[in-house]
Structure 1
């Protein structure tokens, strides 16, 4: 469900439960894409999962090789360890408080498998839509481990993993459009008028604790969305504090077709992506190192209708 506060400037999207990875899937709470909103800046996909206990030798996340086009994946963990392998030859671990950004360009495949190095798995998986000028480029991968920096007024700390949080910190990770991604850990009872870029749309995802966003209370896994204009957002934490993920960016004005793991521009383009992946095309390559029960995730059948484009205001007429 989605709702707004009485002043109409905070849109709250509640997460819907979705299985990730097929058989023995991990359940995630997905807020973007949503029928009432397609993007926050160029952020087009927000999954929140855990905390999930991890037993000895257990894979609570086991996502076999699968494809992507036209996007970047942003992996961010609060707890646990995930092994990432992709068709660009990158083998890396996703660790708490360290961002891994994978660029699909015109095509990539990767796998994601949790390890039992810690007792719980807990994090977010985010996607960024690439603009048309960059979406046909090559595969890429960046890693950054930001340092925790204090928020103003003793309100807590921030880990800025993408972009700039005004007056707080700057990430060196390169992005194709202006973006912001940060973890905010608010102290118990903290009240903060956080400076933000007025040209950005923003989203506040509540991971744990209690928080009000410009006077609107969130439940865990809710995403509060704000349009451009304000120069600050008021955050008020509950008695136990709060952990948030703050995302933002300039409005993404391009029309896209999102289906399964592909971001394209037309129905026919997505059909071609699916056919190439199912044919084993080098457009997506192969993923070394994955040792699960299935060698890959097959593409699901296309719906019996033409896929419709969407922009930041929602789906467009057929």
Structure 2
């Protein structure tokens, strides 16, 4: 039933912790999801730096930011400026290249407050890797939701349980937020045990808070449970729990280096050269600083722990 368990690697980034889940040395991707971070949970003191991610580039992927608590201001060189709050979705498609920043609004910095959320990167399929960059924001009403008898479920992106989220994806995937009361039982979207059977080829559960039981095994906050393709498990919450359920169809091998994802090494090398030479435009409302290209070697294999896009 369970193919693998991945423990998030916690990283202290100067008063703010993230948990790196994907990529993992033994599991690079789940469906098209090639990167998954849990941001926080954290409580920022009034006047602290909070989130302060300087402009940086991406190619070959879409980023998906989703918050449980807090607020982040997004700016990019498509002209988008958009705050994201809990239950909303910021979806940015990098394609052939985009530059963006993520920061805490100055007023919010003076007030302090909580921060807890998820950031995912979705690798684009071959035909979309060089798409024009774009940004989309969807409020809570853009995600189908269910709330009854101790279970809250929101379809953040993709298709699952007969519903479809507002954000337009480039390949088959699903991304669901569960809030489960103690003792509640539920199940992930179905798997695909053989071609033509319906369901999804790759699926995983990430416990952001609480503790769950899958089969006869217990899993706690900070653990990802990668399911076997033909598994149809029942999930039971052993305490109030927040769980992200995700997966989809593989898009093929991908190289990941720093913030760049692509199927071809030469395209990664070109993106590195473009960023170093200043050929990628900074956001017009955030163009006074940027994150420089890291001084680390490129490799034909995806790095097991890419550079984090945080201060």
Q: Same fold (TM over 0.5)?
A: yes
Whole-Å separation in 2 of the counterparts to 1:151 and 1:212: 21
CA distance in 1, matches of 2:73, 2:59: 21
Higher mean alpha-carbon deviation, 75-84 vs 267-276, is at 267-276
CA–CA separation in structure 2 for the residues paired with 1:102 and 1:50: 21
1:309 Cα deviation (Å)?
Answer: 5.7
Q: How many residues align?
A: 290
* Preserved CA contact (<8 Å) 2:67 2:117: yes
Q: After the TM superposition, which parts of structure 1 deviate over 4 Å for at least 4 consecutive aligned residues?
A: none
Tell whether the 8 Å contact from 1:262 to 1:270 is kept in structure 2 after alignment: yes
Structure 2 counterpart of 1:33: 23
Give the corresponding residue for 2:309: none
Please give the alpha-carbon distance, in whole angstroms, between the structure 2 residues aligned to 1:306 and 1:192.
42
1:149 equivalent in alignment to 2:145? yes
C-alpha distance in 1 between matches for 2:213 and 2:70: 28
Query: Once the two structures are superposed, what CA deviation does each residue of 1:174-228 show, in whole Å capped at 9, x if it has no partner?
Result: 1111010111011111122444353421111111111112333212111111132
Preserved CA contact (<8 Å) 1:180 1:248: yes
1:301 maps to what in 2? 295
5+ long unaligned stretches in structure 1: 1-6, 311-318
Give the 3 Å change call, closer, same or farther, for CA 259–195 of structure 1 in structure 2. Answer: closer
- Give the secondary structure class of the aligned counterpart of 2:272: helix
Q: 2:122 aligns with which of 110, 120, 128?
A: 128
1:266-310 alpha-carbon deviations (Å, 9 max, x no partner) = 3332221111111111xx32112238xx7000011241x643269
Judge which range, 184-193 or 49-58, deviates more. 49-58
**Bigger CA drift: 52-61 or 94-103?**
52-61
1:17 matched to which residue of 2? 10
Query: 1:93 maps to which residue?
Result: 83
Q: Which residue of 1 aligns with 2:281?
A: 285
Q: How far has the Cα of 1:155 moved from its partner?
A: 4.9
2:64 matches 1:63: no
Separation in 1 of the partners of 2:65 and 2:214? 24
Per-residue CA shift, 1:12-55, capped at 9, x if unaligned?
Answer: 100112466xxx47331101000010111100000012121122
Secondary structure class of the residue paired with 2:271:
helix
The equivalent residue for 1:262 is 260
Name the CA distance, whole Å, in 2 between partners of 1:269 and 1:18.
29
- What is aligned with 2:308? none
- Residue segments in structure 2 that go unaligned for 5+ positions in a row: 193-198, 304-311
TM score, norm. by length of structure 2: 0.86
TM-score (norm 1): 0.84
Give the distance between the partners of 2:299 and 2:223, measured in 1 at CA. 31
Instruction: Report the Cα distance in structure 2 between the residues aligned to 1:290 and 1:276, rounded to whole angstroms.
Output: 19
SS at match of 1:133: helix
Contact 1:256 1:264 in 2 (8 A): yes
- Cα deviation for residue 145 of structure 1 reads 2.6
Is 2:204 aligned against 1:203?
yes
